[in-house]
């Protein structure tokens, strides 16, 4: 898992040594002064290219750590979603298992190129910074796959 500020990503990858064949979970968000993805490229695609032969995934980046701690292991129907994206289907399945084991509802948003809706900043038409539960998250995935605007952010009591 790479859980460092955006500007430290490249150093973290270098210090990690060879990541060839290893599953990487990137939790970073594009806040900082370092190099940013070019217009039209997702942060997930940008970072995936920087980890060489790793099996890159992006997850655990949309909710604050304090909220994640509070939300872990809720009853099944109330579990907060942790989104995951990546181009390696098997790596995503492993990460989704880890998400479930950590007490959240995993949901596969798609490929790295689909990650824009789960990336910073918090804004209308994105899931970043918002709580989702499984049924609402499934509707988001359907919209992303159809190339449509995602449904309005849900509210839970």
pTM of the model: 0.96
* Structure tokens, 38: 């070019």
Residue 52's pLDDT is 87
Residue 62's pLDDT is 98
Q: What pLDDT digit, counting tens, does each position of 122-152 carry?
A: 999 999 999 999 999 999 999 999 999 999 9
Model confidence band, residue 73 (pLDDT cutoffs 50, 70, 90): very high
Are the C-beta atoms of residues 118 and 83 closer than 8 Å to each other? Answer: yes
pLDDT of residue 97 exceeding 90, the answer is: yes
* Structure tokens, 154: 């849900």
For tokens 């490229």, name the residue: 41
Residue 129's pLDDT is 97
Are the C-beta atoms of residues 48 and 86 closer than 8 Å to each other? Answer: yes
Instruction: Please state, in angstroms and rounded to a whole number, the distance separating the CA atoms of residues 143 and 101.
Output: 27
Instruction: Please state, in angstroms and rounded to a whole number, the distance separating the CA atoms of residues 53 and 77.
Output: 37
3-state secondary structure of 58: strand
Residue 157's pLDDT is 82
């Amino acid at each position: 898992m790479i859980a460092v500020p955006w500007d430290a990503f490249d150093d973290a990858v270098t210090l990690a040594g060879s990541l060839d064949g290893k599953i990487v979970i990137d939790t970073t968000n594009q806040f900082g002064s370092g190099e940013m993805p070019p217009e039209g490229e997702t942060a997930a695609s940008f970072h995936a290219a920087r980890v060489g032969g790793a099996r890159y995934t992006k997850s655990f980046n949309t909710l604050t750590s304090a909220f994640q701690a509070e939300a872990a292991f809720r009853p099944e129907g109330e579990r907060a979603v942790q989104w995951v994206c990546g181009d390696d289907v098997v790596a995503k399945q492993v990460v989704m298992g880890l998400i479930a084991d950590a007490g959240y509802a995993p949901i596969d948003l798609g490929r790295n190129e689909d990650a824009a809706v789960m990336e910073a900043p918090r804004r209308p038409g994105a899931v970043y910074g918002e709580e989702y539960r499984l049924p609402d998250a499934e509707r988001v995935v359907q919209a992303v796959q159809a190339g449509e605007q995602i449904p309005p952010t849900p509210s839970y009591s």
